[in-house]
Homo-oligomer: A and B are copies of this chain.
Amino acid sequence: MQTLDVIKKRRSVRSFTDKAVEENKLEKLVEAAIWAPSGGNRQPWNVVIVQPKEDIEQIKAVSPGILGNPGALIVLCADRTKAGGNEEAAGSGIAIMDIAIAAQNICLEATELGLGSCMVASFNPKAVIELLDLPERFVPELVVSLGYPQNMPDAPPRRTVKETVIRWIKPG
């Protein structure tokens, strides 16, 4: 698929079949995340991959944004020690941008692999830290839920290029 086709084909999928997500596909998704750009090439992300139903259920219970029964979760965490070089910078705008970009890479590669995906920011970070027993330096920022789509939702309406461009300063 052409890049723009993949970009347009990606939907936020919130209902999944029972089919398990293959480990080699999950590895490819992490690889996609790894190749995201990051501020100062700090790569301030790490991930936890969750596959067992009961573990996913526990995370769902503290994550209003996770819908349906995903076959896997990738929890993207900011590493306080890498984000901006100091502890406080983990939640900084740049680290958050870096994590979001890595998550989009995951969702686009998932589309290419026939998987449905959904980025979720609505979860209880403290509860997720506890459930995953995360080392202190990691802060969960986004969860990507993954699985084979039960049905593909229609694309929500988008604005046109004209509506999106405030001003186009052209040569001459």
Chain A interfacial positions (CB closer than 8 Å to B): 1-4, 6-8, 10, 12, 20, 23, 27-28, 30-37, 39, 41, 43, 45-53, 55, 77, 91, 93-94, 96-101, 103-105, 107-109, 111-112, 119, 121, 132-135, 138, 141-142, 156-161, 164-172
Contact = CB atoms under 8 A, between A and B. Distances in A.
A169 B133 CA distance: 12
Contact of A47 (B34, B158, B166): B166
A164 B46 contact: yes
Contacts of A33: 164
Q: Within the oligomer, what is the number of copies of this chain? A: 2
Contacts of A141: 93
Nearest to A107: B37
A140 B8 CA distance: 25
A31 B41 CA distance: 27
A32 to B, nearest CB: 5
A112 B34 contact: no
B94 A121 contact: yes
Given A30-B165, A34-B164, A46-B166, 19 more contacts: A3-B109, A3-B112, A4-B28, A4-B112, A7-B35, A8-B35, A36-B104, A43-B159, A46-B164, A48-B166, A48-B169, A51-B171, A52-B170, A52-B171, A91-B93, A93-B141, A97-B142, A101-B101, A138-B166
B107 A108 contact: no
B100 A121 contact: no
A152 to B, nearest CB: 14
